[in-house]
Amino acid sequence: MIIDEKFSLKIGLAEMLKGGVIMDVTNPEQAKIAEDAGAVAVMALERIPADIRSDGGVARMSNPTMIREIMAVVSIPVMAKCRIGHFAEAQVLQALGVDFIDESEVLTPADDINHIWKHDFTVPFVCGCRDIGEALRRISEGAAMIRTKGEAGSGNIVEAVRHMRMVQSGIRQIQTMDHAELVRYGKEIGASLEIILEVRRLGKLPVPNFSAGGIATPADAALMRQLGAETNFVGSGIFKSQDPAARARAIVLATTHFDDPDMVAKASEGLKEAMPGLEMNRIPEAEQLNRRGW
Amino acid sequence: MLNIGILALQGDFEKHGAVIERLGHRPLFVRRAEELRGLVGLILPGGESTTFLHLIEKLQLRQPLIDFAGRWPVFGTCAGLIVLARSNDNLPFPPFGLIDLEVTRNAYGRQINSFIARVELKSQLMTRQIEAVFIRAPKIVSMGREVVPYAWLGEEVVMAGNNRILAATFHPELTSDTTIHQFFIDAYILPAISLSER
C-alpha cells in the first residue's frame, strides 16, 4: 500500500488525536466546555445524534456559520460531518478550513451506492465501519482514520463493541492466513489483496482505529480502549447527560487511564445521570444508523 | 540499553516509542509520577497541548515532571514543545517555561496548511538536511540568549535547546529517519549520564 506525502500528513493528524476524546458539540459554548474538559478535538454539528433520531427527516451538513463560530472559539482541531457520498458538502467543509471531515452515517446518505473518493481532498477524512472489510474499503478510498459506527445517539455501547470486535477479529484472521487464502478472503470482504497484505504486515489497520457510537460513561470509554480503540468519539453521551462538563472530564480521564480500574472508578464517582439509553431491539431496523453505507 | 520515558497521557507516544526501540533502547510509557523513576530521559510527544496541560494538572504531574527535568534531559515535539516553553496564547494552565522559547500555536494555519519540508540541521554532531513533518505546527517567535538553535526551515528556527531541554516544532517521530532522536541521546542523555556518574 502506497502512502504518499499528502496521505501521510492526513494520517499524521489522526496520530496526534490518539489516546484522547473527540466530542460532539452544537454551539460555541459547548465547544468551550469540551476544550476545557481536555477534548483533543470537537465535532461541530447542528443536532447531536440523539436529537437527529428523535426529530426525524433528512439530516444534512451543518450550517457553515455555526461551524465557523465554533472554529473561532477553540484552538483544538474542529471536525464536521458530510453526508455519505456528498462530495460537494465535503468541498464546502474543506473550503471552510475544518481540520477533519467525517463522512458520516449519522446524516442521511446522499449516495446509496458510492462513498466519496477521499484522495481528491487535502483535508483528512474519518469514516465509520462495522467490520474489517468496510474499514479497508474506506481506507482504500482515502480515509485517514477509521472509527466504529456503533449506534449513534443510542447511549448503548453494544454496537460499538460488536464493530470493534469484528475489526479486531478480522485483523487476527488475516494474520493466520496464507497468500492463497488471503486472495479468497479479500474477495469475501471486498478489499484488495494489497491492503490486506499491509494489515498482515502491521498487525493492525494502516490508519488509526477509533471508536464511536454509544459511549455514555467513563467505563464505556475504558471498555472501548481495552478492545483496541485508540481514541473515543463521544456524541450524545456528554451533552445529553445531566452534568456535561464533569462527565466530559471524567471520560477524558478514563480514556487516558483505560487500563487502571482504580482511576476509572475515581473518574466515575459523583457523576449525575448519564443520558437515557435505547435497547437496540426498540430501534426499528430502518432507523438504525449503522446500517447506512456499505 | 537506555530507559527512555515517553509521556503517554495522549498523542503519538507510540510513534516515539517505535523510534527509541529502533535505536536499540527501551521506551517506557509514563502516565504516573512513580513511572519516572529509573529513567535517563523523557520525551513529551505530539498531541494536543491543551489536553496535555489539563491531564498534567488533573493527575498532579506538573511538579514531578518539572523535578525530573531538573535532573534529566527532556525532549518535546510540537505539543510537547509548547508544554516545555512559554506561550503567548491562551492556555488552560501555564506551560512549564523550562526553556526560554516563546511560541505561537497553530502558527502556519489549520490542518489544510500542514506540510512536509526539508529542514537544515546544524550542530557539532550533525550537519545535514532531513525531511520534517509539520502538523498544525507552532512557531518559535523568540528565543532567550542561552538557547541554542539546531534546525532551520528557511530563516525560522524549528528546533532548539538549552542545557537540559530540547524542543522541536515538527515531528521527527513520523518519519523513518532516526537522526533527531539519536541526537537527543548523544547530545543530551549520554552527557547527563556521565555527569550523574561523576
At B123, the pLDDT band (50, 70, 90 cuts) reads confident
**Which residues, at least 6 apart from B3, have a Cβ–Cβ distance to it below 8 Å?**
B25, B26, B28, B38, B39, B40
Q: Percentage helix, strand, coil, to 5, in chain B?
A: 35, 30, 35
Contact A15 B78 (CB under 8 A): no
C-alpha to C-alpha distance for B159 and B29, rounded to whole angstroms: 24
C-alpha to C-alpha distance for A109 and B137, rounded to whole angstroms: 34
For residue A97, which residues of chain B lie inside 8 Å, CB to CB? 109-110, 112
Amino acid letter, A133:
G
* Secondary element (H or E) of residue B52: helix B49-58
Contact B50 A123 (CB under 8 A): no
Amino acid letter, A84:
I
C-alpha dist (Å) from residue A227 to A138, A224, B134: 21, 5, 31
Q: What pLDDT does residue A294 have?
A: 87
Answer whether residue B192 shows pLDDT above 80. Answer: yes
Query: What is the extent of the structural domain holding B77?
Result: 3-196
Q: What pLDDT does residue A2 have?
A: 72
* Average pLDDT taken over every residue of chain B: 96
Q: What pLDDT does residue B188 have?
A: 97
**Binding-face residues of A in 121-140 toward B, CB within 8 A:** 122-124
Contact B10 A20 (CB under 8 A): yes
A94 CB within 8 Å of a chain B CB: yes
B166 CB within 8 Å of a chain A CB: no
Write the DSSP string, A210-268: EB-S---SHHHHHHHHHTT-SSEEESHHHHTSS-HHHHHHHHHHHHHTTT-HHHHHHHH
Closest partner CB to B48 (pick from A36, A76, A253): A76
| Residue B83: how many other CB atoms lie within 10 Å | 26
* Average pLDDT taken over every residue of chain A: 95
Counting the structural domains of chain B, the total is 1
Angle ∠(B25,B41,B76) on CA atoms, nearest 5: 105
**Which residues, at least 6 apart from A210, have a Cβ–Cβ distance to it below 8 Å?**
A17, A22, A126, A145, A146, A147, A148, A229, A230, A231, A232, A233
At B40, the pLDDT band (50, 70, 90 cuts) reads very high
**Minimum Cα–Cα distance from A20: chain B residue:** B10
Q: What pLDDT does residue B92 have?
A: 87
**Binding-face residues of B in 144-163 toward A, CB within 8 A:** none
Rg (CA), chain B: 15
The stretch A51-58 carries a mean pLDDT of: 88
| Residue B75: how many other CB atoms lie within 10 Å | 29
Q: What pLDDT does residue A54 have?
A: 86
Answer whether residue A185 shows pLDDT above 80. Answer: yes
Catalytic entry in A81, A118, A149, A240: A81
| Residue A55: how many other CB atoms lie within 10 Å | 9
A40 CB within 8 Å of a chain B CB: yes
A41 CB within 8 Å of a chain B CB: yes
pLDDT digits (tens, 9 = 90+) for A85-137: 999 999 999 999 999 999 999 999 999 999 999 999 999 999 999 999 999 99
Q: Look up cell 479497508; give the residue.
A: A136
For residue B46, which residues of chain A lie inside 8 Å, CB to CB? 15-16
Q: What pLDDT does residue A71 have?
A: 97
Counting one residue from A and one from B, how many pairs have CB atoms under 8 Å apart? 107
> Which CATH number fits the domain that encloses residue B121?
3.40.50.880
At B127, the pLDDT band (50, 70, 90 cuts) reads confident
